Amino acid sequence: MIEYVLVFTSLIVVVTALTHYLKAVTESSERTSTLVSGDYP
């Protein structure tokens, strides 16, 4: 029974970490794109 709990919690942690990472990547890409568009109109 403990194995299922460990797998479930690890999956939740991995999913949350991936979502945070993707969110940060998309925000940084948007920021860089705006900077580039502002530098080169």
Domain ranges of the chain: 1-29
Model-level pTM? 0.62
For all residues of the chain together, what is the average pLDDT? 88
Q: Is residue 40 over pLDDT 70?
A: no
pLDDT score of 7: 97
Higher-confidence residue: 9 or 34? 9
User: For 1-41, where are the alpha helices, taking DSSP H only?
Assistant: 2-39
Tell me how far apart the alpha carbons of residues 11 and 14 are, in angstroms, rounded to a whole number.
5
Tell me how far apart the alpha carbons of residues 34 and 30 are, in angstroms, rounded to a whole number.
6
Tell me how far apart the alpha carbons of residues 6 and 1 are, in angstroms, rounded to a whole number.
9
Higher-confidence residue: 27 or 8? 8
pLDDT score of 11: 97
